[in-house]
Structure 1
Amino acid sequence: MNVEKIVELIGSDFYAGVPDSQLKPFCDYLMNNYGIDPAHHIIGANEGSCVALAAGYHLATGKIPVVYMQNSGEGNIINPVASLLSDKVYAIPVVFIIGWRGEPGIHDEPQHIYQGEVTIKLLEDMDIATFIITKETTEEEVKSAMEFFYIELSKGKSVAFVVRKGSITYDANTEYSNKNKMIREEIIRHIVRFTGNDPIISTTGKASRELFEIRTENGQSHKYDFLTVGSMGHSSSIALGVALHKPTTKVWCIDGDGAVLMHMGTLAVIGSNKPKNMVHIVINNGAHETVGGMPTVAGDIDFVGIAKSCGYHYATCVDRIEDLDTALKVVKEKEELSLIEVKCSLGARANLGRPTNTAIENKRNFMKHLSDY
């Protein structure tokens, strides 16, 4: 179904969300029509904050907002839905648009499988009425769903459109880019040269996929790496947990700007604990690239200044390979909590593959490697 018709039938003029590949036509529509506009469209740090932002919009205007996200974000919205939006609390109505990754019967990556199984159940448990959009869904069916939804929304309840794979379309093309020169895969290649046998915890998305392929290309074991294929925003906390309990082992975290933003309070927790054996590398392309390229706010903030304020002993920003190598050499030898922000371009190989071992195999091999220290 065409996105423009869905938007017309919903009738909202404010959208907040976290991008999703399954919703790319919808996300592209928002960027082409609104861009990032505080009056109409904001890309939030995480799905829960988008719910709160939408609540603020409703309080200020009395109108109904839309929050969009991948179904993996349901966990982030449970608290504000239950303790803020609920008709048993403030009765704030929101329309959710949710991309259904891991839908039962549809092949998907391991991190989406269980989430896909419980997607509808979680919405039901939160008392959110649901309508599933499929490739066969008609305009009349969405119109009918909205007529029912308006009744629910008038009671202060929230509702959700759950979008199956390939079910929405948008005719216009949207291009995303930045002015950075370094390519992420090359950045990770250089990181691997310096880490040796040290463990790496890598963030969700293309960074982990590229790390896996680099190891294969180098003829190296995958035991050195924990690929955080899901759980966006938590790889640095995983790395902190490893670093604190393997204090004589240098632990590296390859992170992304969108992931850091999603749970940014973690920087303060890491800085407060000050693990001297942890290196935090933030590859910053200012975009949610893995799910389509929509922008983050990371181009406007100072990760180095934030890290130092949070207690990181050493923090630097680089935008050239030569400077990256210098910084990697410094942190490899330094016995202090360190951060390197690496400015990165958008884009990845069209033939980029995915890890060929299972998540359980990854965990077991990584734990066995850690046990050797």
Structure 2
Amino acid sequence: MQVSVFIEQLKRVGASHFVGVPDSQLKALCNYLYKNCGISPDHIIAANEGNCTALAAGYYLATGKVPVVYMQNSGLGNVVNPIASLLNDRVYGIPCVFVIGWRGEPGLKDEPQHVFQGAVTLDLLKVMDVASFVVRKDTTEQELAVKTAEFQPLLAAGKSVAFVVAKEALTYDEKVSFKNDFTMTREEVIRHVTAVSGEDPIVSTTGKASRELFEIRVQNGQPHKYDFLTVGSMGHSSSIALGIALSKPHTKVWCIDGDGAALMHMGALAVIGSQHPRNLVHIVINNGAHESVGGLPTVANHARLADVARACGYGNIKVVSALEELDESLKEAKDAGALTFIETKTAIGSRADLGRPTTSAMENRDSFMEYLKELR
């Protein structure tokens, strides 16, 4: 189904305000919105899905119009609270249309972090009293229109509804490309980090960063035991690294983070700063984009992340945009006895042949834990 047809059905319930977190399953929708609305009051890319839902609630309170929140189903965990304690018709009765990319749909092969989430997606919506309809590749415009008409009285009664979008259900023919003016690539940054970190443990964030780290280890002939690949739980890799650093105070611990992930749960920076572990190096690879799910922009280039880290209590702060600056900062961080934050300004893009880890999440956990046991 062409995404324009889907948008027209949303307009039938008065929905014209969109806020979301990009998702590869919703790439057609995301690209359509960016092409037609840009980033504007009518289309906001928020920090996390709970943030989206609260923004949508504010829009409804101010206008009386139904908002649309889009996300990957992995983000449902971030919206349970605002759906249950803000939107629900036994609280404020604020209607919202959710458009949810269905990763890990039962019966379809997907990455391990999506399997359980995919299996419980429809049940979770039901428990939260959100009526849902699955949009599939063969869903007709008439079927969608019938369901939209069924949803209208629910929305009018202050309830929320969800369109769960299956793989390849929405299409968009126009090409949308994203780029910036920086020259360092994320893969180059990670390669330089592994060169300096040596055998120190690394926690890497969700998406392409972990995929690139895995392949760099293969290319270097190194074992994967040094790395914890946070394949899910976007925004939590820095907290995982903090937990390790506090438990292994004599071991240098490195966190390879992304700008979208750092924004998603920015409160982690304050917690890290309050604990000020002298053995933690927090590297945020900032390309200003949600690249792993399509490339739409984040607000990281408006946030001055390094200043946020400084205000949160990080002791050693660097911002770099060239490999020479990066190497100098990494070597200093390796030897420093201070909580370090390095923001790297990088280009958008990755290798077309970038693969995925060939070991399971459980295997990654076990080898990493065994390695940590060897360290002081």
Fold in common (TM above 0.5) = yes
* Structure-2 residue corresponding to 1:19: 22
Structure 2 stretches lacking a partner, 5+ long? none
Q: 2:224 aligns with which of 203, 222, 233?
A: 222
CA–CA distance in 1 between the matches of 2:365 and 2:210? 14
Which of 260, 263, 283 aligns to 1:261? It is 263
1:123-173 per-residue CA deviation (whole Å, 9 max, x = no partner) reads: 000000000001110001111011010011011000000000011111211
Does residue 2 in structure 1 map to residue 28 in structure 2? no
Residue 302 of structure 1 deviates from its aligned partner by: 1.0
Provide Cα deviations, 1:182-222, integer angstroms capped at 9, x if missing partner. Answer: 01111100000000110000000000000000000000000
Task: Please state whether the residue corresponding to 1:316 is helix, strand or coil.
Answer: strand
Corresponding residue number in structure 1 for 2:66: 64
Aligned to 1:36: 39
Corresponding residue number in structure 2 for 1:177 = 179
- CA-to-partner distance for each residue in 1:2-44, whole Å, 9 max, x for gaps? 1111111111110000000000000000000000002x01000
Matches within 5 A, 1:327-342: 327-342=329-344
CA distance in 2, matches of 1:9, 1:167: 15
**Deviation of the 1:359 alpha carbon:** 0.2
Rounded to whole Å, the distance in 2 between the matches of 1:286 and 1:196 is: 28
| Partner residue in 1 for 2:276 | 274
- Using the size of structure 2 for normalisation, the TM-score is 0.99
Q: Deviations over 1:310-360 (max 9, x none)?
A: 000011100000000000011000011000000010000010000000000
Choose which of 192, 195, 201 in structure 2 pairs with 1:193: 195
Q: Which runs of 4+ in 1 moved over 3 A?
A: none
CA contact (8 A) 2:273 2:312 kept: yes
1:123-142 correspondence to structure 2 within 5 Å: 123-142=125-144
- The CA distance in 1 between the partners of 2:189 and 2:318, in whole Å, is 15
3-state DSSP of counterpart to 2:8: helix
Work out the CA distance in 2 between the residues paired with 1:19 and 1:340: 25
Q: How many residues align?
A: 372
CA RMSD of aligned residues (A): 0.5
Q: 1:204 is matched with which residue?
A: 206
Secondary structure of 1:98's counterpart equals: strand
Percent identity over the alignment is 61
Q: Deviations over 1:72-97 (max 9, x none)?
A: 00000000000000000000000000
Give the whole-Å Cα distance in 1 for the aligned partners of 2:263 and 2:99: 22
**SS of alignment partner, residue 215 of structure 2:** helix
Question: 1:281 corresponds to which letter in structure 2?
Answer: I
* SS of structure 1 residue aligned to 2:225: helix
Question: Which structure 1 residue ranges, 5 or more long, are not aligned?
Answer: none
Amino acid at match of 1:19: P
> Which residue is 1:356 aligned to?
358
Moved more, 229-238 or 166-175: 166-175
How far apart are 1:283 and its partner, in Å?
Answer: 0.1
SS class of match (1:51): helix
Letter paired with 2:182: N
Whole-angstrom CA distance in 1 between matches of 2:106 and 2:355: 23
Distance in structure 2 (CA, Å) of the matches to 1:301 and 1:49: 16
TM-score (norm 1): 0.99
Matched residue, 2:150: 148
The answer to whether residue 297 in structure 2 is matched with residue 312 in structure 1 is: no
Deviation at 1:303, TM superposition (A): 1.2
Contact 2:21-2:47 at 8 Å conserved across structures: yes
Q: Which amino acid aligns with 1:328?
A: L
